[in-house]
Structure 1
């Protein structure tokens, strides 16, 4: 009798003459089903994980750069930022393409942070005028808290960094100031519409664009004079800007809205 080979088994039975017969059998007669991901699923999964990792890393670098600019000022170079973050300039270029890309990324982070403050100002305001004042104050608080970050995200360094901008990306890139103010306008428009009860999207967008430009210009004038004798504090300048805007386009829209409501009520009566 031969020995049983490891991994094999034998069944002993008898033939018709009573002679023992060995039947060689496999220990696993039925193959186990195996589930494998398709190549496409596997590649997609790796791609998704990489995209998630890349976005998380980009966000991490953005916030770190924002803190560094807050500490050291708006005139830092990409070399300065890379050294402070303990990485290389080539890594920054990998995630942001150039300094304009980093400025825009930091600007997006600032807009994301101020958006909640703008919405809260409107939600907690008893009147549309108070809502406007709250939004203006939130904007001024942002630039007062970190003038360095504000100047960093609104200065145009596209010309200085032109060699780093790929040709195929030229049309898609914008100056930091334009990008920042455009994002602020979009954030302001929604709570403004809520505050004055306007459903005219074009009026809302036009007002928001004009108001943000006015607030930005006045805010920069104020920011450049902070600490000088006679410069108004934030509350005073916010109140003044509110009055100027309310007496102009926002007041006009609010009054038109009220007249329309009064006319509708008279007609129903």
Structure 2
């Protein structure tokens, strides 16, 4: 009996791997279709692009909201990796400083929009969830999980970590004399500022995409960095930029 159970478990494991591979392939096919057809693409076009049926897609993702969430998670993974890479690269260069890390993170976010505008529109505007007469986009896709807001939260935490790490490195605080209070206040401030910077960038990025006026990505990134850094450096004089 033990041998039979092990055999069944191994088969189940192989099927699990197969199903996951199939999900990844379907997400990749959907992303390719969005890039070709635009953010307003429907399930029929997505299924046709994958060479399958909507029924098969629903079997793997549950419904259109499940597919949308999987696409968002894929995009989030790429964007988060790029933001992390860009900020880490800036911070590892002794000739650069925290301002450069903020600039690099902002530019990485904008670069995704420039390279994949339709995919970005698909993620933030949720067209797949609003198609059909009388349908409205739900606040969340599974009763509490919103992949777009989750992505914004994760990136905000990343920026907060960069800011907080800079504050810790300097060893200076916002003016308190108690070390424990100092650390708690630094962490709280870093979290607030990190999420504020992400909100600033997303708002400007959405407008840049919705109402293009020819301003290049580099200029948008520079303007946003100037605004964000003037606030950060003014509120926390202990965060100093390394001279270029």
TM-score (norm 2): 0.75
**Secondary structure in 1 aligned to 2:143?**
helix
* Counterpart for residue 171 of structure 1: 143
2:228 and 2:31 map into 1 onto residues whose CA distance is 31
1:114 and 1:196 map into 2 onto residues whose CA distance is 25
1:68/1:52 CA distance change after superposition, 3 Å:
same
1:190 and 1:40 map into 2 onto residues whose CA distance is 46
Per-residue deviation, 1:193: 3.8
TM-score (norm 1): 0.69
1:233/1:197 CA distance change after superposition, 3 Å:
farther
- Given candidates 252, 255, 258, the residue that maps to 2:237 is 255
Per-residue deviation, 1:252: 4.8
* Counterpart for residue 224 of structure 2: 241
Higher relative contact order (CA 8 A, sep 6+): 2
Higher helix share: 2
Per-residue deviation, 1:56: 1.5
Give the paired residue count. 213
CA contact (8 A) 1:69 1:149 kept: yes
Unaligned runs of 5+ in 1: 1-35, 164-168, 259-269
Q: Would you say 1:87 and 2:52 are equivalent positions?
A: yes
Unaligned runs of 5+ in 2: 91-95, 136-140, 170-182
* Counterpart for residue 182 of structure 1: 153
1:39/1:201 CA distance change after superposition, 3 Å:
farther
CA contact (8 A) 1:119 1:191 kept: no
1:195 and 1:61 map into 2 onto residues whose CA distance is 41
**Secondary structure in 1 aligned to 2:40?**
coil
